[in-house]
Amino acid sequence: MIDYLIIGSGIAGICFAETALQNNKTIFVFDNDSQNSSKIAGGIYNPVILKRFSEVWNATEQVKFLNEFYPKVETRLNVKIDFKTPVLRKFFSVQEQNNWFIASDKPNLSPFLSTNILHNTYSGIDAPFGFGEVLHTGYLDTRLFLESYHCYLKENNLFSSESFDYSQLKMHTDCVCYGDIKAKNIIFAEGFGLHSNPYFNHLPLDGTKGELLIINAPNLNLDCILNSSVFILPIGNDLFKVGATYNWADKTNNPSEEGKQELLERINELLNCEFEIIEHFAGIRPTVKDRRPLVGTHHEHKNLHVLNGLGTRGVMLGPSLAKSLFDNIENNIPLDTEMDIKRFNKKR
């Protein structure tokens, strides 16, 4: 009997798999590659919501934990996936500079917002009012992270690409059985695929479509992450990842002309150099209306657990949420009530 059967191997599922392995637990993972939001994600971790100048929920804890977590993954996989990179906010006016300084005086934001206005010169960007720098930022190469981890799981016979058939899951008091697999617990980390899960599809997972571009801009010498109405992330060889859009109506993974035009308009507000679109991606983020994750245990079946709703901040949330769920299952440590799916029990 294994300790954990994990359904889904996006950021959430892999973070739980790694957490279990770090704690000497046995696992097996199913993923049919039907969800792609983790693969195409920007992968940026940034503790400040710059649109509203507010702290990301539990940001201090999340940043601390991801700085411990991803280096261990790099050691396991022998690959570089975590890149500490400054996030700069381009100012468009003196008023924006003043708003930045007001925000940086707030106790919860002061550790994350530099009070020095930067006047870096980047070819391809006009910034007469300078930039503000967010501290403790960077990005995860999500595609390399997932592909490398999948290879690791396959090499160790811990992975199946078959579609999981919920009707074949057998529940027992102390375990679950699926085919010839017997597991103490099962973790559902299916992203937007949760809607097909008969055990947890009552949860209010919404889903927000996001579109991104890869552009080639040889004259843009950007060595940081630029974050304004969109983010522009250098990924090497004059290539930049640009995103993202937010569409609450369209639930398909198909890139749209509307999304592309929206991104192009915002790029042209930031850059004054030529660029070429190389790729155009789209995916459905697993979002929740109350902006909190979906973590916890089924109300009837105590061996069934869910790890979902990471939204736009999976790279930041994944490690700490996986640890919280693991500690809850193994050590009965209560979940934060803001993430616990028990908050929806009365509505159910």
Domain extents in the chain: 2-45+143-205+289-344, 86-136+208-285
Give the per-residue pLDDT at 278: 97
86-136+208-285: same fold as 2-45+143-205+289-344? no
Q: How far is 306 from 296, CA to CA, in rounded Å?
A: 6
How many angstroms separate the first and last alpha carbons of the chain? 33
Question: Right CATH number for 2-45+143-205+289-344 from 3.20.20.10, 1.20.120.530, 3.30.70.141, 3.50.50.60?
Answer: 3.50.50.60
264 phi and psi, to 5 degrees? Answer: -65, -40
Give the per-residue pLDDT at 39: 75
Give the per-residue pLDDT at 346: 65
Extract the runs of DSSP E, i.e. beta strands, from 167-206.
169-171, 176-178, 181-188
Q: How far is 176 from 185, CA to CA, in rounded Å?
A: 7
Predicted TM-score of the model (pTM): 0.95
pLDDT in single tens digits along all 348 residues of the chain: 999 999 999 999 999 999 999 999 999 999 998 777 777 788 999 999 988 888 999 999 999 999 999 999 999 999 999 999 999 999 999 999 999 999 999 999 999 999 999 998 899 999 999 999 999 999 999 999 999 999 999 999 999 999 999 999 999 999 999 999 999 999 999 999 999 999 999 999 999 999 999 999 999 999 999 998 899 999 999 999 999 999 999 999 999 999 999 999 999 999 999 999 999 999 999 999 899 999 999 999 999 999 999 998 999 999 999 999 999 999 999 999 999 999 998 665
Q: How far is 4 from 304, CA to CA, in rounded Å?
A: 10
Q: How far is 312 from 287, CA to CA, in rounded Å?
A: 8
Find tokens 């381009």 and name the residue.
Answer: 90
Q: How far is 202 from 288, CA to CA, in rounded Å?
A: 12
Question: Right CATH number for 86-136+208-285 from 3.65.10.10, 1.10.580.10, 3.30.9.10, 3.40.50.1220?
Answer: 3.30.9.10
Quick one: which of 66, 34, 171, 49 has its CA closest to 113?
Answer: 49
Find tokens 């616990």 and name the residue.
Answer: 340
